[in-house]
Structure 1
């Protein structure tokens, strides 16, 4: 059942011990098992908090269009954020690469690099939902 729930895009499954009661409030007899999904998305920009790394903006390709898919701000360590910043800095551009303009302020880049992203679910608009994590650059594609 859990595998099927993940396959059809659900967030996960909540279950309880068969013999337990239905108490009000959380208890040890209830378990939530969440699905994890992975997707390769295009890096469209990055964010800084002062001079500190604050994540990447990603998008999905639909034909020639790049559609905003969210901001990834987890899964970075000092080494991965420094390497990403080094790789993205030469790609900086003045305008957003998304087909439809989005509100967040960012440092926009040419959409040339791909990243493997892990997340729990997608919103109705196709944005990745929290928590989601940067896993790696996809050099093999």
Structure 2
């Protein structure tokens, strides 16, 4: 079951929604690239998810394509703030501890 959200005004051309998209995953390397063209970010320990917005429906998928909408209800409920008729948002769901860490290490 998908969560319902308000439908924004139609813009553009309607196309079929692609469904789950295999994410590009980070690779382990020996040396970090340097130079002005490279930026780096901290790796947080969480769940890689895709939030799919299609018409009035919201679904949350894991990186392997499992529908975890019910497990990430707060993420699905908050997705209505995204001002788009349809979108796929790829990201990491992270819950930081009081000390700022995100993992059990």
TM-score category (smaller protein):
under 0.3
Normalising by the residue count of structure 2, what TM-score does the alignment of the two structures yield?
Answer: 0.26
Greater length-normalized contact order (CA 8 Å, ≥ 6 residues apart): 2
Considering only CA atoms, is the larger Rg found in Structure 1 or Structure 2?
1
